[in-house]
Amino acid sequence: MNPIESKKMEKEYLLAPGPTPVPPEVLLAMAGPIIHHRAPVYERILGEVREGLKYVFQTKNEVLIFASSGTGAMEGTVTNTLCPGDKVLVVEGGKFGERWTGICKAFGVNPWTISVPWGRSVDPGEIARTLGQDPEIKAVFTQATETSTGAVFPIREISAVVSRYPGTLMVVDGISHLGAQELPMAEWKLDVVVCGSQKALMLPPGLAFAGLSDKAWSFVEKSTLPKYYFNFQKELKNITKNQNAYTPAISLILGLAQSLQMIRREGLKNIFARHARLARATRSAMKAIGLSLFAPETGANSMTAVLAPPGIDGQKIVKILREKHRLTVAGGQDQAKGKIFRLAHLGFVDTFDVIMGVAAVEMTLKELGYAFESGKGVKAAMEVFMEEK
């Protein structure tokens, strides 16, 4: 076997939890001549985009848009709602929980952390207890889906706790979740939800979003942490006039207008159902070939983290998938490195992407000597698809 064949066909597959495949319509919507962000046509398109984002976030409030990756909106959330020395609670169950902690520390906010073993979810009761003991806590930071582990956190339940505290914000990183699984901002009383373009929104990376509740906006008014580029009040003032505070990433906004149209055409409910179906098929397939899931209790709609079989290096699985089958998935990060691989089913993805991914995993594991009956994974996935359609 020679994993790098220079003469192979150049057909690439992508099932990573971001960036996700971009539909051709969206790619082409970004390939027209550039337009100016003060031109009436841009302002009209931005108006449509604002409505589309409210639909996806399920809120009546404005959703802010930044030219940055998702981390920029996470930083902006911290610096626009808090003050130096504020005490906050961070749910740390993976790499992105740690990011909330890192941002807080960088800006002089004092994070208390609830550590959750990677792959596990958090107990809302623990958050209730902590808030009960310390009502000074200004915000609870969490993930809806922790991208590094595929675990889903009980956002609705946590928010039910947090929303009882008028002095505490419920902040959710929805980056690998929003648009693939329920996260209704208004109904669940979420105060801040942040997102990025390269996930369920089916765009290239480069845009970040933040939706804020009225409660969150009242925090913004009092916040004294330093900010400039990620200044929420300035962006709010501009976006309500269909403008942006700084030159926006115009081509990505044009792509977003297109992808939001596709999302509205399919409908959030149908999209959530599709993602749930893809997730069930993937998990059923992995179990059928004897593999275990990294987050068995709370698998996300958007991705499935799978434990590498004993004795097989997860990084090697990822490498063979990429070099031999030209399929890019994600490996494990930090403490999960080598232990897992992550198969996403997120965004512009459907039945046959899952079947392809399962088949590629089967062929890779065979090559690595893992013993199982070939075909059982794909069969299990197909059975899910046949039942549910």
> Which string of x and - marks every residue 39-68 that binds a second copy (by CB under 8 A)?
x--------------------------xxx
Question: Any contact of residue 389 with a second copy (CB under 8 A)?
Answer: yes
For residues 104-123, which are near a second copy according to CB under 8 A?
A: 106-108
Question: Any contact of residue 369 with a second copy (CB under 8 A)?
Answer: no
**Residue 302, SS3 per DSSP:** coil
Distance, first Cα to last Cα, the chain: 39
The answer to whether 171 touches 140, Cβ cutoff 8 Å, is yes
Question: Any contact of residue 35 with a second copy (CB under 8 A)?
Answer: yes
The answer to whether 65 touches 207, Cβ cutoff 8 Å, is yes
- Which of 19, 93, 211, 309 binds a second copy (CB under 8 A)? It is 19
Question: Any contact of residue 371 with a second copy (CB under 8 A)?
Answer: no
Of the ranges 138-146, 178-186, 209-217, 262-270, which one interacts with a second copy (CB under 8 A)?
262-270
Of 224, 232, 231, residue with least CA distance to 83? 224
**Residue 169, SS3 per DSSP:** strand
Question: Which two three-digit tokens encode residue 17?
Answer: 């939890």
Sign of CA dihedral 15, 141, 169, 107: negative
The answer to whether 114 touches 141, Cβ cutoff 8 Å, is no
Question: Which two three-digit tokens encode residue 332?
Answer: 């494990």
Distance of closest approach, residue 8 Cβ to a second copy, in angstroms? 7
Question: Any contact of residue 372 with a second copy (CB under 8 A)?
Answer: no
Question: Any contact of residue 10 with a second copy (CB under 8 A)?
Answer: yes
Question: Any contact of residue 363 with a second copy (CB under 8 A)?
Answer: yes
Distance of closest approach, residue 193 Cβ to a second copy, in angstroms? 18
> Which string of x and - marks every residue 219-248 that binds a second copy (by CB under 8 A)?
------xxxxxxx--------------xxx
Question: Any contact of residue 140 with a second copy (CB under 8 A)?
Answer: no
Sorted by sequence, the CB contacts under 8 Å of residue 131 that are 6+ apart come out as 89, 137, 140, 161, 162, 165, 168
Residue 8 or 237: the one with the smaller Cβ distance to a second copy is: 8
* Spatial separation of the C-alpha atoms in residues 111 and 270, rounded to whole Å: 38
Helix (H) or strand (E) holding 165, with range, is: none
> Which string of x and - marks every residue 141-180 that binds a second copy (by CB under 8 A)?
----------------------------------------
The answer to whether 141 touches 83, Cβ cutoff 8 Å, is no
For residues 65-94, which are near a second copy according to CB under 8 A?
A: 66-72, 75
Question: Any contact of residue 186 with a second copy (CB under 8 A)?
Answer: no
Residue 160 or 273: the one with the smaller Cβ distance to a second copy is: 273
> Which string of x and - marks every residue 271-290 that binds a second copy (by CB under 8 A)?
x--x----------------
- Which of 129, 164, 241, 366 binds a second copy (CB under 8 A)? It is 366
The answer to whether 299 touches 277, Cβ cutoff 8 Å, is no
Angle between helices 155-162 and 124-133 (to 10 degrees): 20
* Spatial separation of the C-alpha atoms in residues 31 and 46, rounded to whole Å: 17
* Spatial separation of the C-alpha atoms in residues 123 and 104, rounded to whole Å: 22
Distance of closest approach, residue 107 Cβ to a second copy, in angstroms? 5
Question: Any contact of residue 348 with a second copy (CB under 8 A)?
Answer: yes
* Spatial separation of the C-alpha atoms in residues 102 and 105, rounded to whole Å: 5
The answer to whether 83 touches 255, Cβ cutoff 8 Å, is no
Distance of closest approach, residue 17 Cβ to a second copy, in angstroms? 10
For residues 291-310, which are near a second copy according to CB under 8 A?
A: none
Residue 19 or 211: the one with the smaller Cβ distance to a second copy is: 19
Size of the site for a second copy (CB under 8 A): 98
